[in-house]
Amino acid sequence: MTEAPQDPVAVPAESPARPAKVERFQTLTGMRDVLPPDSARRRALVQMFADTVAAAGYTEVVPPIVEDLGVFLRVGETTDVVTKEMYDFTDKDGTRIALRPEMTAGVVRAFVQHKPLLPWKVWYAGTNFRHEKPQKGRYRSFEQVGVEALGVDDPDLDVEVIALGWRFYESLGLRQVRLQLNSLGEGQDRARFTEALRVFLEARAGELSEEGRSTLARNPLRVLDSKRPEDRAVVAHAPMVADHLSPASKEHFERVCSGLDSLEIPYAVDDRLVRGLDYYRRTTFEYAADALDAAQNAIGGGGRYDGLAEDLGGPATDGIGFALGVDRILLACDAEGVFPAPVAVLDAFVVDLVGGDAARDITHELRAAGLSADRRFGGGSMKAQMKSADRSGAAHAVIVGSDEADAGEVTLRSLRAVANDQRRVPRARLVGELKAAARSTPTTRDPSPGSQQEIEEHS
Ligand code: HAM
């Protein structure tokens, strides 16, 4: 007799009669559920981002959330994101894998694997995982939207990418965003600068904080953006990256700056801006929201990563991109009072006082005609059903009582009108009436700042 294969997860053969107390689970530390109406707001934000970047020729890429650990080790062997914060583990087959802490590495891995035509301009939206100390605006599971553009060594592409992020914030209605810009130089410039910085900082290691000294041992560049006062005092006299740029890097950076000037996008060159991942070369940038606390005010960032495709086994390919933090952007929107959750409403709510057939059939008929409709299950009194109709946010109640049913009609009652506004319509004309009403009053509030203003003006 052959044995049945063993289930790898041990399940007790018989469940205990009735456990005294059933354990109740909560989200893990630093992770959150996104519930309505916030979920609709996020969806609207991602849609607005998709529309913004699609209009500039970017198409969507969807890499897996899990990659071979090596993919991420290549992008940040000296960074906290990769060495301290990554969720990595051994898969059932022994492969070392990791939940992505960011999207760029996976996108460039996909580029190397699939060899698409150049230039490759893509956008993405997805969840990332970093085992950070949770606080407001810093989570262990967070969402990013972003773009990557590979195969073009032209500073005007840097301008295009930076401007896309800027315009997106503007389209959400955010006004208190600052753009900081820097150039880390090409690979060799960056290496020369890092060495000069290491020598300088090692000579003053005694003045640095303990964390500053440990960062120095791993990655001298990261000491530059330490927030500790002791480190800042030392860094104030440190060598400047601008003094280590090759003429070609300088020229590239000047063209980026003049391009932003031409597009009237304000920025500040911040010589101390180094970003938290190893792959950056030349242009780097960050968007900060002044409406948020300084510790978590980075709402997006990016830059060039010209050597990354090679590091991941592909041909030498230039690349640039950014990722914007959705969770923090929404906090900034709250702080500035812009981009409210869209209020999703229904075209109709069917109130059935004749046994349930009408609710079943009319909702089906309306949905098939492209309208949105809901009903209350289990019937109930007129009062109870009308309460559900009000709560649903529907524009109209479609009421079917015995009078209406006998006459082949329905009562159409506006749930928006201040005065009582209702009339009987033949059931055969219901779809047409509701469609005409939907055309004159759209049933979803667009969350863009313009329409929000209109809503305020009409209320
Ligand atoms: P990053 O600066 O590590 O860059 O992340 C980009 C944005 O993600 C941050 O500015 C922030 O808004 C958000 N973010 C990061 N960590 C957290 C967290 N723990 N909780 C909430 N939000 C967070 C990158 O990820 C690069 N891949 C950007 C890039 C794309 N560079 C080139 N292409």
DSSP-assigned states of every residue in 44-74: HHHHHHHHHHHTTT-EE----SEEEHHHHHH
Q: Name every residue whose Cβ is closer than 8 Å to that of residue 400 and which is 6 or more positions away in sequence.
A: 350, 351, 352, 353, 354, 358, 359, 362, 410, 411
Q: H/E element holding 410?
A: strand 409-414
pLDDT value for 348: 98
Question: How close is the Cα of 436 to the center of ligand 1, in Å?
Answer: 45
* Residue type for position 162: I
Q: Is 404 in the pocket of ligand 1 (CB under 6 A)?
A: no
Residue nearest to atom 2 of ligand 1 (CA): 301
pLDDT value for 11: 54
Is 336 in a helix, a strand, or coil? helix
pLDDT value for 112: 97
Q: Name every residue whose Cβ is closer than 8 Å to that of residue 321 and which is 6 or more positions away in sequence.
A: 104, 107, 146, 147, 148, 149, 161, 302, 305
pLDDT value for 9: 59
Please answer whether residues 256 and 179 qualify as being in contact, where contact means their C-beta atoms are separated by less than 8 angstroms: no
Question: How close is the Cα of 302 to the center of ligand 1, in Å?
Answer: 8
Q: H/E element holding 14?
A: none
Report which ligand 1 atom has the smallest distance to the Cα of 299. Answer: 12
Residue nearest to atom 1 of ligand 1 (CA): 301
Residue nearest to atom 21 of ligand 1 (CA): 138
pLDDT value for 227: 83
pLDDT value for 119: 97
CA distance between the termini of the chain: 76
Query: Apex CA 51: angle with CA 49 and CA 54, to 5°?
Result: 105
Question: How close is the Cα of 29 to the center of ligand 1, in Å?
Answer: 19
Is 411 in a helix, a strand, or coil? strand
Short-list 171, 68, 63, CA closest to 124: 63
pLDDT value for 416: 86
How many residues are present in the chain? 459
Q: Is 155 in the pocket of ligand 1 (CB under 6 A)?
A: no
pLDDT value for 13: 53
pLDDT value for 358: 95
Question: How close is the Cα of 414 to the center of ligand 1, in Å?
Answer: 46
Q: Is 88 in the pocket of ligand 1 (CB under 6 A)?
A: no
Report which ligand 1 atom has the smallest distance to the Cα of 300. Answer: 10
Report which ligand 1 atom has the smallest distance to the Cα of 132. Answer: 19
Question: How close is the Cα of 325 to the center of ligand 1, in Å?
Answer: 6
pLDDT value for 447: 44
Question: How close is the Cα of 277 to the center of ligand 1, in Å?
Answer: 10
Strand partners, 147: 123, 322
Q: How far apart (Å, rounded) are the C-alpha atoms in residues 284 and 277?
A: 11
pLDDT in tens, the chain (459 residues): 444 455 555 555 555 566 678 999 999 999 999 999 999 999 999 999 999 999 999 999 999 999 999 999 887 777 778 878 999 999 999 999 999 999 999 999 999 999 999 999 999 999 999 999 999 999 999 999 999 999 999 999 999 999 999 999 999 999 999 999 999 998 888 888 999 999 999 999 999 999 899 989 888 888 988 888 999 999 999 999 889 999 999 999 999 999 999 999 999 999 889 887 888 999 999 999 999 998 899 999 999 999 899 999 999 999 999 999 999 999 999 999 999 998 878 999 999 999 999 999 999 999 999 999 999 999 899 999 999 999 999 999 999 999 999 999 999 999 987 778 899 999 999 999 999 998 886 555 444 443 333 333 332
Tokens (6 digits) for 18? 């009735």
Q: Is 139 in the pocket of ligand 1 (CB under 6 A)?
A: yes
Q: Is 298 in the pocket of ligand 1 (CB under 6 A)?
A: yes
Q: Is 126 in the pocket of ligand 1 (CB under 6 A)?
A: no
pLDDT value for 174: 98
Short-list 75, 49, 59, 53, CA closest to 116: 59
**Cis omega (within 30 of 0) on the bond before 119?**
yes
* Residue type for position 65: I
